Structure 1
Amino acid sequence: MAKVTVEGTTLVVEIEGLDKLWALKSRLDIPLANVRGATADPGIVAEPKGRRAPGAHLPGVIAAGTFQIEGERIFWDVRDAAKAVVIELADERYARLVVQVSDPKATVDLIERELAAL
């Protein structure tokens, strides 16, 4: 699971628990200026992930780490599809972050509110 917060003008995604091990990351810092938006999307876990590089993927159990598909890098950290949030990025290493959060609606609202304030 991930914890998403905003510190000043930076979106902070902290990977929690053992997911740090599977995702091979503990934190991502993204300038808010490079965040295009966020949506709660439980259906995204059914989409193809692409090539894992590096990370862990057990279908129906976990997708964590960096995946490459159609020339894009996507960071995944999802176990429970119902809690998946997709964060769209521009001019970053990743085109998208797909993370599981405790409250998808609150996370999307936080990101959208901060983007509107820019």
Structure 2
Amino acid sequence: MALVRIDGDNLVVVIEGLGKLWALKGSLAIPLANVRGATADPGIATEPKGIRAPGSHLPGVITAGTFHQDGEKVFWDVRDPSKAVVVELADERYARLVLQVDDPRATVALIENALPERR
């Protein structure tokens, strides 16, 4: 699971527990200027992921790490798709982040309310 917070002008994602091991990443910091938006999307887990490198994927159990699809990199950390949030990015290493969070609605509101064009 991921903890998402706003720290100054950055979106900070901290991967918790064994997720760090599976995703091969402990945290990400993204400038809010490069965040296009966020949505809760429990259905995303059924979509094709692309090529995993590096990371872990056991269908129906865990999707974590970097996946390459259609020339883009997507970071995943999801075990429970009902709690999935998708964060769309621009001008970053990843085109989007797909994260499992405790409260998808609250996480989306936190991100959307922090975006520069929405202040």
* TM value normalised by structure 1: 0.99
Name the structure 2 match of 1:81: 81
- Once residues 53 and 90 of structure 1 are traced to their aligned partners in structure 2, the CA distance between those partners, rounded to angstroms, is 21
Identity of aligned residues (%): 73
User: Displacement of 1:19 after TM fit?
Assistant: 0.4
Once the 2 structures are TM-superposed, how far is the Cα of residue 97 of structure 1 from its aligned partner? 0.1
SS of 1:110's equivalent?
A: helix
Q: Could you list the runs of 4 or more consecutive aligned residues of structure 1 that deviate by over 3 angstroms after TM superposition?
A: none
Q: How do 1:37-56 residues align onto structure 2 when only pairs under 5 Å count? A: 37-56=37-56
Give the RMSD, CA atoms, in angstroms: 0.3
- SS at 1:94's partner residue? coil
Alignment-derived partner of residue 5 in structure 2? 5
Aligned to 2:63: 63
State TM-score, norm by structure 2. 0.98
Q: How many residues are treated as equivalent by the alignment?
A: 117
Amino acid paired to 1:10: N
Structure 1: unaligned runs, 5 residues or longer = none
Residue equivalent to 2:94: 94
1:104 and 1:74 mapped to 2: Cα distance? 19
* Counterpart-to-counterpart distance in 2, 1:76 and 1:32: 19
